């Protein structure tokens, strides 16, 4: 059987090779690159790989399907790599935007949020009823906002750790009631 060399194949013969092996390309698209590319992108890359295989296949080597499998896989792998480069380009753009000095840095945003939460906790602590001096509740909330442990706060204020736990529970309960009231309005 005399199989013509790739240079000798006509456009019609190349198209016939492509059509006979399209199921191989579909199988590779389902099998490789999942989670990195959409199915349509994988199918497109697989078909490009199959076309390249049909254009460059030589009959003195392996069978077309064996050769095409490697070409298809390589093309899907390259498409995945191109997609990762695009994602990194988006990240680089984000980094450029974040480095803009007119915008607050992530650390500044976190510090602003911590200040807002601490301020809200202090206002809730000032509304804690009975048994607790308002100044003490505010002091406890402030110290906890600084990252101090309940035992350290108890020692600094001269009360028991259990008392600090009670005050914290009262502040949390008042905070929950205040949030419920604001959510119901």
Does the pTM surpass 0.95? The reply is no
Distance between CA 161 and CA 154 in Å, rounded?
5
Helix (H, G, I), strand (E, B) or coil at 58: coil
Q: How many CA atoms lie within 13 A of 158 on its CB side?
A: 0
Residue-by-residue pLDDT tens, the chain, 185 positions: 455 454 567 788 888 888 998 999 999 888 887 777 888 888 898 999 988 888 887 767 778 888 888 889 888 888 888 877 666 655 555 555 555 555 666 677 667 777 776 667 666 666 655 444 545 777 788 888 788 888 888 888 777 888 888 888 888 887 777 777 776 55
The ranges assigned to domains in the chain are 6-98, 106-184
Separation between Cα atoms, residue 99 and residue 179, nearest integer Å: 36
- State the Rg of the chain over Cα: 34
Q: Using alpha carbons only, give the angle 154, 157, 160 rounded to the nearest 5 degrees.
A: 35
Fold exhibited by the domain 106-184: Arc Repressor Mutant, subunit A (1.10.10)
CATH code of the domain occupying 6-98 = 1.10.1740
Q: Which among 130, 37, 20 is positioned nearest to 78, based on CA atoms? A: 37
């Amino acid at each position: 059987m005399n199989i013509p060399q790739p240079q000798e194949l006509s456009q019609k013969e190349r198209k016939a090779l492509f059509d006979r092996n399209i199921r191989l390309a579909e199988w590779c698209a389902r099998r490789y690159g999942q989670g990195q590319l959409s199915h349509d992108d994988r199918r497109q890359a697989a078909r490009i790989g199959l076309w390249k295989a049909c254009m460059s296949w030589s009959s003195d080597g392996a069978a077309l399907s064996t050769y095409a499998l490697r070409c298809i896989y390589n093309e899907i792998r390259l498409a995945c790599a191109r997609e990762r480069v695009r994602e990194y380009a988006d990240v680089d753009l984000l980094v450029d935007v974040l480095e803009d000095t007119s915008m607050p840095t992530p650390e500044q945003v976190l510090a602003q949020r911590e200040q807002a939460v601490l301020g809200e906790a202090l206002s809730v602590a000032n509304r804690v009823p009975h048994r607790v001096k308002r100044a003490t509740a505010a002091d406890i909330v402030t110290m906890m906002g600084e990252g101090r442990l309940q035992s350290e706060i108890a020692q600094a204020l001269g009360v028991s750790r259990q008392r600090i736990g009670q005050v914290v529970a009262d502040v949390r309960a008042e905070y929950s009631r205040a949030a419920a009231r604001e959510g119901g309005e």
